[in-house]
Chains A and B, each alone.
Chain A
Amino acid sequence: MLGWVANTLGSAAVGLIVGFLALAVMSVVHRFWPGRRVALDSGRH
């Protein structure tokens, strides 16, 4: 059980790191290429 929790937390940590990296990359893309915002935004957020 605790192993599963640790695995879940580890996966979530990787998700957060990659997610925020992707967010940073997309912010830069949006700043220099604002026209792409509409196409990249799925509407789910």
Chain B
Amino acid sequence: MSAGLFGLLDDIAALARMAAASLDDVAGATAKASAKAAGVVVDDTAVTPQYVHGVTAEREVPIIKRIAKGSMRNKLVFILPAAMLLSQFLPGALTPLLMCGGTYLVYEGAHKIWGAIRGHGEHAPPSAVQGPDAENTVVAGAVRTDFILSAEIMVIALNEVAEEPFFARAVILVLVALGITVLVYGVVALIVKMDDVGLALAQRDSPFSQRFGRGMVKAMPTVLNVISVVGVAAMVWVGGHILLGGFEDLGWHWPYGLVHDFEHWAHVWAHGWALDGSAACWVGSRTHWVRLPSG
């Protein structure tokens, strides 16, 4: 009797260990998939605050909440089932689809860079929201825009976990969808409320609070600009990386080979620099690199 009980307990312990290991796998894969997709979301973190530009302070967070709900619906109701079906029945389509998303990303990045060079990069932000109809229009537009971003994120994440079993893949994608939506719109809410917090601090009695609050209000345009620049860089980098990987998967090896050679050159150059130990030997180390075998 007691042997049977111990056997049962042993089985339960083994099952618990297996479940814990699976959860570890899922958590690890979720983190990996989210990290890969994170490069894409910086852009929207910078863009979304524009949707509440000119809105009264008390409507800012409710509007962001509505956009976040729409984003979650986009990911879980439309994109996730389509992605799961695709990965299950047509996995070969994943790479070309990913490359389309990558091309769109680098196109957007180039568009923004060209706009900054020509001096008309930023379109006018959405007009101040006045009344429920205008608010509905702004939210609908933001959710439509989010659909493209969400599709990019989910396909990138799916590509990272394409080898996982069906159920684990579904759980990971749901976690990625929830995590990224909460992260992006949480940060957006923080950004749009930051000037209100600064204003509240500026109205306190303490001179330190006043200075800090005024500093926060003044810093916000710079913070948004920095996020925007990082977003463009992330778009170009992530999109380029997706395209390189896609070319490689489709059998077009020379673009990735070129980057790999560049990487190798950087390693050898750094090695030569470290050996020479001084900037005076810089030219010599480069000559040394040229003579090294490439393999």
Contacts and interface: CB of A to CB of B under 8 A. Distances in A.
Interface of A: 2-3, 5-16, 18-20, 22-23, 26, 42-45
Majority secondary structure, B binding face: helix
A11 B237 contact: yes
A40 to B, nearest CB: 10
B262 A9 contact: yes
22 contacts: A2-B266, A3-B264, A6-B266, A10-B259, A11-B237, A11-B238, A12-B233, A12-B237, A15-B239, A16-B236, A18-B106, A20-B110, A22-B106, A22-B110, A23-B107, A23-B114, A26-B107, A44-B149, A45-B112, A45-B115, A45-B121, A45-B123
B240 A16 contact: yes
A42 B145 contact: yes
A17 to B, nearest CB: 8
Interface of B: 43-44, 47, 102-103, 105-115, 121, 123, 141, 144-145, 148-149, 233, 235-241, 243-244, 255, 258-259, 262-267, 269-270
A44 B148 contact: yes
A20 B269 CA distance: 30
A19 to B, nearest CB: 3
Contact of A19 (B109, B149, B241): B109
Given A6-B265, A6-B266, A44 B47 contact: yes
A13 B113 CA distance: 13
B263 A3 contact: yes
Contacts of A2: 266-267, 269-270
A13 B109 CA distance: 12
A26 B107 CA distance: 9
A44 B121 CA distance: 11
Contact of B110 (A9, A11, A23, A42): A23
